[in-house]
Amino acid sequence: MKPTFYITTPIYYPSDKLHIGHAYSTTVADTLARYKRLRGFDVRFLTGTDEHGQKLQRKAEAAGKAPQEFVDEIVKGIRALWSRLDISYDDFIRTTEMRHKVVVQKIFSRLLEQGDIYLGQYEGWYCTPCESYWTERQLAGGKCPDCGGPVELVRENSYFFRMSKYADRLIKFYEDHPDFIIPESRKNEMLNNFLLPGLEDLCVSRMTFDWGIPVLEDPKHVIYVWIDALTNYITALGYLSDDSALRERFAHYWPADVHVMAKEIVRFHTIYWPIILMALDLPLPKQIVAHGWLLMKDGKMSKSKGNVIDPNMLIDRYGADALRYFLLREIPFGQDGVFTLEALMERLNFDLANDLGNLLHRSLAMVERFCDGIVLTPGAKTPLEESFEQLILESVANVEAAIERYDFSTALTSIWQIVRRGNRYIDETAPWALHKSQNEERISRVLYTVLDALRIVGIVLQPFMPRTSGAIWRQIGMQEGNGAAWELARLFGLLPTGMKLDKGEPIFPRLDVEKEIEALEALTNPVATASEPAAGLGVTDATATAGSAVTRIAAATQSATPLISIDDFSKIELRVGRILSAERIEKADKLLKLQIDLGFETRQVVSGIAKYYQPQDLVGQKVIVVTNLQPVKLRGVESHGMILAASSGDQLVLGTVSADIPVGSKVK
């Protein structure tokens, strides 16, 4: 029997169209689901919508529509977006569906009967957009601490859940299951901010609106969001269903292997949800995985700021796979990421067009030109092919390890190591010269090797870019199906010979960056100034990459420095890198720990520039990195290089490069 893997996204609130941040959550979950299917798991992938509450009722009234009519229109758009992004969900749960509502009422009644829910009087501050209650001390300047919006004082009879009854048990569960919350920093937030200070009982019903599921025993009350919405993960599986087949499905898949979500809803999923499950005597999910936000230059996306990016617009222009690649490659999972048009163009032009698209198209063009379009039986291997195959094996293993720890950016970087090695392999073997010298045996081996590498790239790209995988396979003459099985990525020589190939058009044509940015700015006014340095990124969990770090060189001014030869200078390797994240190092006032994208890897960095730069001001900046220094340790943190800066007196400025220069480029 196949092992099971149950994965969920948050259920989205259909008060408006979804933005690119929602697309990120769902693409992450889809990538995991596709990967697990390829590895032989029996996968159940759930997404859906949370359709009740006061906010939706008010928005529907403002639009002159009934709440159900209002949400139906938005949900239709959400499902259309998931279809366009090739989201391979198995079930889409709506909290207005009868299969959900009936079970929610059963759950509420059971908790009421066993004394976990009781009737009381609520008085406190309520934020309608966040659907959250706050005490006076939790407010931030009299406003909601989550969204910064206004709150209103609410007084009403409400049912409460005895959260305090289960707090100690939940703390013990955290201790016994250290990997329950990923990243660990979120667990520390939950303990220090909520559990250890004393967990208050939770309001779980409302009387001031009626767009919700009525309490069976007291229909004046509607069941509030945290029982209504959170239980979707079990109602969708058939928990407490009258249908025995559905109950068997619940037993088959529960507990969930992973709930994927953004960091702002971690509290509800790691405190309220586990306690509800404990009260129901059900196993807890195996992991709660929280990613950061996709930010704009001016901070978090929001309708009020007018800086929301519609993923449909990007899909229309560049295709679903290009968007999926950008989201998964650009954002280190668990951290915040910054969306800029320059970053998007760089990924599309350099990674997809110059690297992958170019490797495929130039390989097919040479088969057409030198072999009449036929895949020839390859000649003997040389040590060059054997080293290429070894790199492929290592890269596939690195992809697997990275996906298992939710490090999608590193997984894609590992795939691109194969792609970039393929382009270098062509340059090193020079098939055009082999053709000129009529060395048919060698040219057959070279072209077969690179096409077979592309076959493997097509296999390991499937979870991330399913359409691109299919396009690669079709162009190299492979049939999609059993040949795409994951385990075949470790085998060589599986590309059939004697096939006639048609090189077709490039799968990722090169873009005119200036024209594209101009067009996108016209479509998204709020990001019209995207050429300015990215800002507003608060890093909460920088994940280190072993064996890499950077500190700075402060250029000496007016100093007597010994001359060096050109041979000495040529020993220094300088590359362009982009700062992905920055955070202060404890008890080191001058040091910042950075993560820098070098194109072929992500490096941890230590830099003595804390006096001159705030961490959030560094994110997105391109810098010049010395990449071949011997490692040192600064305050216990490894450092394997330097970033260049110029200093004069009390001033220091980082050395930066044009946005047009791709990450990883050598500085000469």
pLDDT in tens, 138-191: 888 889 887 888 998 888 899 999 999 999 999 999 999 999 999 988 999 999
Residue 660 has what pLDDT? Answer: 56
Mark whether 481 and 574 lie in a shared domain: no
User: For 504, which DSSP code?
Assistant: -
Strand spans (E) along 282-331: 288-291, 294-296, 299-300
**Does the structure show a pLDDT above 90 at 79?**
yes
What's the DSSP call for residue 479? P
Total number of domains constituting the chain: 2
Rama region for 198: left / alpha / beta (φ>0; ψ in -120 to 50; rest): left
pLDDT at 454: 98
pLDDT at 295: 80
Residue 350: band (very low, low, confident or very high) from pLDDT cuts 50, 70, 90:
very high
pLDDT of residue 41: 97
Asked if residue 376 and residue 464 are part of one domain, the reply reads yes
> 209: left (phi > 0), else alpha (psi -120 to 50), else beta?
beta
- Cα separation, 7 vs 104, in Å, equals 21
Give the lowest-confidence range in 124-128, 320-324, 431-435, 542-546: 542-546
Q: Which of 260, 247, 256, 253 is nearest to 292 (CA)?
A: 260
The rounded distance, in Å, linking the Cα atoms of 311 and 19 is: 6
Check whether residue 460 and residue 562 sit in a common domain: no
Residue 546 main-chain phi, psi, to 5 deg: -60, 145
> Does 398 or 635 have the greater pLDDT score?
398
In the predicted model, what is the mean pLDDT of residues 320-341?
Answer: 90
Q: Which of 452, 469, 490 is the last residue of a domain?
A: 490
pLDDT of residue 540: 23
Measured between alpha carbons, how far is 510 from 349 in angstroms, rounded to an integer?
A: 6
Strand order in the sheet with 218-223: 205-206, 218-223, 213-215
Condensed to tens digits (0 to 9), the pLDDT of residues 230-255 reads 999 999 999 999 999 999 999 999 99
Contacts of 490 (CB under 8 A, 6+ apart): 393, 396
Q: Does residue 36 fall inside a structural domain?
A: no
262: left (phi over 0), alpha (psi -120 to 50) or beta: beta
Whether 485 contacts 467, CB under 8 Å: no
Closest CA to 87 of 311, 345, 352: 311
459 shares its domain with 574? no
State the Cα–Cα distance between residues 604 and 606, nearest whole angstrom: 7
Query: Which amino acid, 522?
Result: A
Measured distance CA(95)–CA(52) in Å, rounded: 7
How far is 319 from 508, CA to CA, in rounded Å?
A: 10
Q: Would you say residue 210 has pLDDT above 80?
A: yes
284 phi-psi bin (left φ>0, alpha ψ -120 to 50, beta other): beta
Q: Does a structural domain hold residue 562?
A: yes
Check pLDDT > 80 for residue 307: no
| Rounded Cα gap, residues 448 and 445, in angstroms | 5
Residue 428 lies in a domain: yes
Contact between 53 and 347 (Cβ < 8 Å): no
Task: Specify whether 483 is located in the same domain as 360.
Answer: yes
Token pair recorded at residue 270 = 């790691």
Band (534; pLDDT cuts 50, 70, 90): very low
Residues 6+ apart with CB under 8 A from 520: 317, 341, 344, 527
Tell me, what DSSP letter sits at residue 601? -
Per the CB < 8 A criterion, the answer to whether 317 and 295 are in contact is no
Domain assignment present for residue 230? The answer is: no
The pLDDT value recorded for residue 575 is 87
Percent over 90 (pLDDT), the chain: 63
Burial class (CB in 10 A: 0-12, 13-18, 19+), 446: buried
pLDDT band for position 564 (cuts 50, 70, 90): low
Of the residues 455, 490, 525, which one is the last residue of a structural domain?
490
504: left (phi over 0), alpha (psi -120 to 50) or beta: left
Q: Tell whether 322 is covered by a domain.
A: no
Rounded Cα distance, 116 and 94, in Å: 26
Mark which of 467, 490, 513 sits at the end of a domain: 490
User: Residues 303-319: what's their mean pLDDT?
Assistant: 82
Contact 10, 41 (CB under 8 A): no
The radius of gyration of the chain's CA atoms, rounded to the nearest angstrom, is: 27
pLDDT (0 to 100) of residue 278: 98
Q: Under DSSP, is residue 387 helix (H, G, I), strand (E, B) or coil?
A: helix
Q: 126 in a domain, yes or no?
A: no
Q: What pLDDT score was predicted for residue 554?
A: 28
The CATH number assigned to the domain holding 592 equals 2.40.50.140
- Residue 380 has a pLDDT of 96
Statement to judge: residues 568 and 468 lie in one domain: no
Same domain, 460 and 585: no
- Which range, 14-18, 92-96, 540-544, is most confident? 92-96
* pLDDT score for 463: 98
Chain segment 584-607, per-residue pLDDT in tens: 887 777 889 998 988 777 889 899
Domain-located, residue 500: no
Please indicate, yes or no, whether residues 477 and 600 belong to a single structural domain of this protein: no
3-state secondary structure of 574: strand
Q: Examine residue 595 and state whether it is found in any structural domain, yes or no.
A: yes
State the pLDDT confidence band at 526, using cuts at 50, 70 and 90. very low
Q: Three-class SS of residue 181?
A: strand
Regarding whether 476 and 568 lie in a shared domain, the answer is no
Within 39-144, residue ranges assigned H as helices are 54-62, 67-84, 98-113
Across the chain, mean pLDDT equals 87
Is the domain of 471 the same as that of 555? no
Mean pLDDT (whole number) for 79-91: 97
Residues 116-138: pLDDT tens digits?
999 998 787 888 877 777 878 78
Instruction: Check residue 533 and give its pLDDT.
Output: 30
Contact 553, 563 (CB under 8 A): no
pTM, two decimals, is: 0.77
Domain, as residue range, for 459: 353-490
Q: Are residues 582 and 486 in the same domain?
A: no
Helix ranges restricted to H, 333-465: 341-346, 358-371, 383-404, 408-429, 431-436, 440-460
Residues 562 and 481 in one domain: no
User: What CATH code is carried by the domain that includes residue 396?
Assistant: 1.10.730.10
